């Protein structure tokens, strides 16, 4: 799995290796339409790079969606934490659907969910929330660190809209797990390599 | 339509909003309405906004621009109860997050973009916590929506309007971020010099803020 992610990252980050011009204007218009944006920029030329970044994001969203699903199914999340965890799980699943649809419509091949992930056993609420907190922190750091590589303004706006939601999740999951909800004036940013180092062991 | 000609103008737009947030937090802390955990959130988040003001001011100056100054006074709402206070700060933080999101696409320098996204995250985290204290959904949208500068100004201009009492004083102060009572304020004074950002300098500066 790690090799696959690494390939995605390198495809996204090393623009010189890309085969350009394979995606037409119709596909570009389609991805813009899907995001309900009105940008008239020329997406096509940069779309292969941005599709790789979207797939990188989708890989993390699959991971988050499954973790929330399993956490809820475990039954250990109760009380004040249950509502937010259920809501955030739904939103992660919606991020998966949105990114999958966008990548497909633009002519890319969306990465699939893995059959299994190396999650810890969800046997108590505190440990489960701490694991979700780690995932949300990685998600926020990963999107923030990837923003500089996104070529399309339309896709940047969508990625920004998603990272904002991840940040909101992170704040409340931190709060529910008993740590400061906003620990400092800036979040920790992860480069793609740092994201891989953090998420790799969980992806297996 | 308000638009941006360069990164310094975007940063000054952000700084204008951060000055307002900073002033609002200071005023709300001074009211001594919140207690316990909520009071500690107010104090901590207020420090974050002050740090954002410092970081943006230093960064704009380092780029050769002229950082917009804080207004001497703001037209802050009258608040005397917890719910109104929480609703006010929640609304302002949500607007702040949407303002950064709506402006991100204008930023050319990638280090500045990353820093702006990062500050945007913090505004959203503040908003989420205030929403949580109010029993509201902390992340109301699956994909958050940005606001254009015009949409943001339409919301915040009433707060940035000079009060009658302080208008004369402010008009006599050279370099202050003056507003008028008849038109929306121009939030972004034109920079005097635009210099490219050293690639490794900006994040370090912002990180120190």
What is the mean pLDDT of the segment spanning A157-184?
Answer: 98
Question: Would an 8 Å CB–CB cutoff place A169 in contact with chain B?
Answer: yes
Q: What is the pTM of this model?
A: 0.81
Please determine, for residue B188, whether its predicted confidence score (pLDDT) is greater than 60. no
Torsion of CA A94, B86, B26, B171, to 10 degrees: 90
**Three-state SS at A42:** coil
pLDDT for res A173? 98
b/e per residue B159-172 (b: at least 16 CB within 10 A): bbbbeeeebeebee
Mark yes or no for CB contact B51/A185 under 8 Å.
yes
Torsion of CA A59, B107, B115, A32, to 10 degrees: -20
A167 CA: distance to closest CA in chain B (Å): 6
| Share above pLDDT 90 across residues of chain B, in percent, rounded to a whole number | 74
| Share above pLDDT 70 across residues of chain B, in percent, rounded to a whole number | 77
pLDDT class of A5 with cuts at 50, 70, 90? low
Question: Would an 8 Å CB–CB cutoff place A147 in contact with chain B?
Answer: yes
Mark yes or no for CB contact B125/A153 under 8 Å.
no
Please determine, for residue A185, whether its predicted confidence score (pLDDT) is greater than 90. yes
Average pLDDT in chain A: 83
More confident residue, B199 or A195: A195
Cα dist. A34→A23, A59, A64, B43, B172 in Å?
16, 20, 23, 41, 51
pLDDT for res B162? 65
Q: Are A66 and A22 in contact (CB under 8 A)?
A: no
Q: Which of A84, A163, A168 minimises the CB distance to B117?
A: A163
Neighbours of A69 (CB within 10 A): 14
Question: Would an 8 Å CB–CB cutoff place A182 in contact with chain B?
Answer: yes
Instruction: State CA B100 to chain mean position distance.
Output: 9
A93 CA: distance to closest CA in chain B (Å): 10
Mark yes or no for CB contact A147/B206 under 8 Å.
no
DSSP A121: P
Q: Are B170 and B176 in contact (CB under 8 A)?
A: yes
Instruction: State CA B204 to chain mean position distance.
Output: 21
Provide the phi-psi class of A94: left if phi over 0, else alpha when psi is between -120 and 50, else beta.
alpha
pLDDT for res B11? 98
**Three-state SS at A134:** helix
What is the mean pLDDT of the segment spanning A130-153?
Answer: 96
Q: Are B8 and B191 in contact (CB under 8 A)?
A: yes
Instruction: State CA B126 to chain mean position distance.
Output: 13
Please determine, for residue B163, whether its predicted confidence score (pLDDT) is greater than 70. no
Interface test with B, best of A83, A139, A142, A164 (most B CBs within 10 A): A164
Mark yes or no for CB contact A168/B139 under 8 Å.
yes
Q: Tell me the pLDDT tens digit for each residue of B120-153.
A: 999 999 999 999 999 999 999 999 999 999 999 9
Q: Which two tokens stand for residue B147?
A: 């606001």
pLDDT for res A40? 31
Mark yes or no for CB contact B117/A84 under 8 Å.
no
By C-alpha distance, the chain B residue nearest A143 is B117
Helix residue spans in chain B (DSSP H): 7-31, 36-62, 82-103, 110-133, 149-160, 164-171, 201-208
By C-alpha distance, the chain A residue nearest B128 is A168
Distance CA B18, CA B96 (A): 8
* R_g over Cα of chain B: 17
Question: Would an 8 Å CB–CB cutoff place A145 in contact with chain B?
Answer: yes
pLDDT for res B2? 83
Query: What count of residues does chain A have?
Result: 204
Q: Are B65 and B194 in contact (CB under 8 A)?
A: yes
Distance CA A118, CA A199 (A): 10
By C-alpha distance, the chain A residue nearest B132 is A172
What is the mean pLDDT of the segment spanning A29-43?
Answer: 34
B121 CA: distance to closest CA in chain A (Å): 6
Mark yes or no for CB contact B129/A182 under 8 Å.
yes
ipTM, two decimals, is: 0.82
Cα dist. B36→B39, B93, B144 in Å?
5, 21, 30
Helix pair B149-160, B82-103: axis angle to 10 deg: 140
Q: Tell me the pLDDT tens digit for each residue of B9-65.
A: 999 999 999 999 999 999 999 999 999 999 999 999 999 999 999 999 999 999 999
Mark yes or no for CB contact A161/B206 under 8 Å.
no
DSSP B35: -
What is the mean pLDDT of the segment spanning A83-99?
Answer: 98
Least confident of B2-6, B103-107, B186-190: B186-190
């Amino acid at each position: 799995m790690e090799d696959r992610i690494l390939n995605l990252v390198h495809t996204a980050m090393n623009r010189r290796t890309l085969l350009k011009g394979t995606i037409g204007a119709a596909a570009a218009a389609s991805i813009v339409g899907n995001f309900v944006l009105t940008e008239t920029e020329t997406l096509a030329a940069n779309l292969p790079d941005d599709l790789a970044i979207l797939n990188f994001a989708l890989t993390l969203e699959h991971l988050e969606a499954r973790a929330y699903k399993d956490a809820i199914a475990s039954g250990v999340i109760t009380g004040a934490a249950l509502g937010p965890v259920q809501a955030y799980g739904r939103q992660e699943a919606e991020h998966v659907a949105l990114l999958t649809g966008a990548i497909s419509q633009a002519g890319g091949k969306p990465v699939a969910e893995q059959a299994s992930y190396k999650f810890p056993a969800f046997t108590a609420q505190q440990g489960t929330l701490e694991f979700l907190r780690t995932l949300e922190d990685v998600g926020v750091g990963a999107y923030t660190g990837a923003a500089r590589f996104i070529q399309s303004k339309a896709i940047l706006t969508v990625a920004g809209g998603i990272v904002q939601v991840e940040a909101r999740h992170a704040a409340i999951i931190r709060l529910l797990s008993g740590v400061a909800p906003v620990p400092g004036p800036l979040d920790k940013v992860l480069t793609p390599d740092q994201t891989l180092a953090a998420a790799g062991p969980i992806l297996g | 339509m308000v638009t941006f000609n360069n990164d310094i103008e975007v940063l000054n737009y952000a700084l204008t909003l951060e000055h307002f947030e900073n002033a609002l937090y200071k005023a709300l802390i001074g009211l001594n309405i919140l207690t316990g955990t909520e009071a500690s959130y107010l104090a901590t988040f207020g420090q974050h906004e002050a740090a954002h003001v410092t970081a943006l001011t230093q960064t704009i100056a380092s780029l050769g621009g002229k950082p917009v100054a804080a207004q001497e006074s703001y037209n802050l709402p009258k608040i005397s109860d917890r719910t109104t206070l929480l609703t006010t700060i929640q609304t302002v933080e949500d607007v702040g997050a949407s303002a950064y999101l709506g402006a991100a696409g204008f930023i050319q320098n990638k280090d500045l973009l990353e820093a702006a996204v990062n500050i945007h995250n913090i505004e959203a985290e503040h908003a989420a916590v205030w929403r949580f204290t109010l029993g509201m959904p902390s992340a109301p949208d699956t994909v958050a929506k940005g606001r254009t500068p015009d949409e943001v100004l339409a919301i915040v201009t009433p707060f940035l309007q000079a009060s009658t009492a302080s208008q004369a004083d402010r008009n006599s102060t050279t370099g202050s971020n003056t507003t008028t009572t008849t038109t929306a304020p121009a939030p972004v004074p034109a920079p005097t010099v635009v210099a490219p950002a050293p690639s490794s300098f900006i994040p370090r500066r912002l990180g120190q803020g």
